[in-house]
C-alpha cells in the first residue's frame, strides 16, 4: 500500500469553511467508493483553527488551504481519483510518501469517520539544510528529535511523512511533511502547547530544547507550518 498527500488550494474568493464542506462532501466522501482507495484523511485551514494563526510559519509564496491524504493500492492509478479532486480545487501538488506514526492519535482522542478531530493539526512542509546529507538528516530527526518533540510538546498524534516522489511537474520539492495533533488550548496558549503545567521555568526549558533540536535538521528558510482542522474520513483497519 502507498500513501499520497495532496496539498490543495482554494479559489481566493471562497470561504475556508465552504471549501472544507465542498472537499468533505464532494471529494473525500465520494472517494470512499473508489476501488483501491483504502484510507482518507482531510486537513483544512478552516475557521475552527483561526485562533491558531499566530502559530503559522510561511516561507513559500503560497501555502495550501488543505491537505488530502490517501492510502491506495497503487499511486500509478491516480487517474481514478485525481480528476475528482481537480474539479473542486484551484491547484494541487502531490507527494508520494512513506509514513511513520510515533504517536497514534486515535488512542488518545477517538473520532468517528467524517467527524472533526479534537484540537488542531499542524501540517508542516520542511526540508533539511543543504549542508546536511540525507543520512545525517534521518539520524537527527528519526533517532533523536522525535523523542524531544514528544517530550516537550502536548502532541497526542504525530505522523512523519518522508517524501519519496513528487507527483506532477510543478510540485515544489520538500523532504518531509509532518502532521502533529495538539489540544485546542495550544492554539493560543504556549503553556498548553509545550505541556508545562503552567510553570514558566518548564516553558522556557521546553521551548529551548525544541528550538535547539529543530535547528539541527530543519532549514528554517524552507519551512511552512499551517494549523488545520483534521477530518478522518475513511480509517485504515490498523488505525
Strand pairing report for 157-167 and 91-103: antiparallel
Q: Please compute the mean of the pLDDT values over residues 113-118 and round it to a whole number.
A: 93
- Percent of the residues in the chain that have a pLDDT greater than 90, as a whole number: 92
Residue-wise pLDDT for 134-166, tens only, equals: 999 999 999 999 999 999 999 999 999 999 999
Are the C-beta atoms of residues 164 and 100 closer than 8 Å to each other? no
Give me the torsion for CA of 103, 175, 48, 51, rounded to 10°. Answer: 100
* pLDDT above 50 (res 238): no
The pLDDT of 54-82, averaged and rounded, is 96
- Residue 168 has a pLDDT of 86
Find the angle CA(3)-CA(211)-CA(131) to the nearest 5 degrees. 70
Residue 62 in this model has a pLDDT that exceeds 90: yes
Contact partners, residue 13, CB within 8 Å, separation at least 6: none
Instruction: Find all residues with CB under 8 Å of 98, minimum gap 6, and list them.
Output: 3, 161, 162, 164
d(CA 49, CA 227): 6
Whole-model pTM: value is 0.95
CA distance 171 to 159: 21
pLDDT of residue 199: 98
Q: Per CATH, the architecture of 2-234 is what?
A: 2-Layer Sandwich (3.30)
Does the pLDDT of residue 169 top 90, yes or no?
no
Q: Which residue has the cell 490543495?
A: 8
Query: In angstroms, how far is CA 123 from the centroid of its own chain?
Result: 3
pLDDT on residue 107: 66
Amino acid at each position: 500500500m502507498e500513501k499520497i498527500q495532496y496539498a490543495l488550494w482554494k479559489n481566493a474568493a471562497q470561504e475556508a469553511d465552504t471549501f472544507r464542506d465542498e472537499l468533505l462532501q464532494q471529494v473525500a466522501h465520494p472517494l470512499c467508493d473508489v476501488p483501491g482507495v483504502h484510507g482518507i484523511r482531510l486537513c483544512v485551514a478552516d475557521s475552527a483553527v483561526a485562533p491558531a494563526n499566530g502559530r503559522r510559519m510561511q516561507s513559500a509564496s503560497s501555502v495550501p488551504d488543505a491537505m488530502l491524504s490517501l492510502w491506495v493500492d497503487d499511486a500509478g492509478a491516480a487517474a481514478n481519483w485525481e480528476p475528482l479532486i481537480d474539479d473542486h480545487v484551484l491547484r494541487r501538488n502531490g507527494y508520494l510518501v512513506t509514513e511513520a506514526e510515533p504517536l497514534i492519535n486515535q488512542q488518545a482522542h477517538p473520532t468517528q469517520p467524517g467527524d472533526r478531530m479534537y484540537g488542531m493539526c499542524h501540517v508542516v512542509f520542511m526540508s533539511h539544510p543543504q549542508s546536511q546529507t540525507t543520512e545525517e538528516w534521518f539520524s537527527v530527526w528519526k533517532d533523536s528529535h522525535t523523542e524531544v518533540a514528544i517530550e516537550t510538546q502536548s502532541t497526542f498524534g504525530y505522523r512523519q511523512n518522508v517524501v519519496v516522489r513528487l507527483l506532477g511537474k510543478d510540485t515544489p520539492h520538500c523532504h518531509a511533511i509532518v502532521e502533529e495533533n495538539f489540544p485546542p488550548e495550544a492554539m493560543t496558549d504556549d503553556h498548553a502547547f509545550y505541556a508545562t503545567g503552567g510553570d514558566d521555568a518548564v516553558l522556557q526549558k521546553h521551548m529551548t530544547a525544541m528550538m535547539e533540536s529543530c535547528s539541527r535538521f530543519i532549514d528554517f528558510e524552507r519551512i511552512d507550518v499551517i494549523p488545520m482542522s483534521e477530518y478522518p474520513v475513511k480509517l485504515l483497519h490498523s488505525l
